[in-house]
């Protein structure tokens, strides 16, 4: 029950920040871009592990117009790919 309540509070508080930019919404409505929600991404760490989410999608700090997540992880923590592909950049900031 405790986790349900916390999840609900986080969901409600994040709802105001989940809005896409107007330009993106207009492009989606006009059919100029399509939103691909067919792929389910993995978290970048092993199942059962827990790490603090520091910054989420379209954050006002530094993720404006970015769909990226920042997790607080100790140096040397094992990470895994969210999906298949090529690593473009790695940062230890």
Low-confidence ranges of the chain (pLDDT < 50): 6, 8, 12-15
Residues 26 and 50 in one domain: no
Range of the domain at 56: 46-76
Residues 55 and 28 in one domain: no
10 in any annotated domain: yes
88 in any annotated domain: no
Residues 29 and 52 in one domain: no
Whole-angstrom CA distances from 77 to 13, 46, 47, 63, 90 are: 29, 10, 13, 23, 14
Number of domains in the chain: 2
């Amino acid at each position: 029950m405790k986790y349900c309540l916390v999840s609900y509070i986080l969901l409600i508080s994040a709802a105001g920040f989940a809005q896409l930019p107007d330009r993106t919404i207009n492009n989606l409505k006009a059919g100029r871009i399509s939103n691909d929600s067919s792929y389910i991404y993995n978290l970048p760490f092993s199942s059962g592990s827990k790490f603090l989410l520091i910054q989420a999608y379209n954050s006002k700090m530094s993720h404006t117009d970015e769909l990226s997540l920042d997790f607080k992880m100790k140096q040397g923590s094992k990470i895994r790919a969210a999906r298949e592909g090529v690593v473009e950049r790695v940062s230890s900031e």
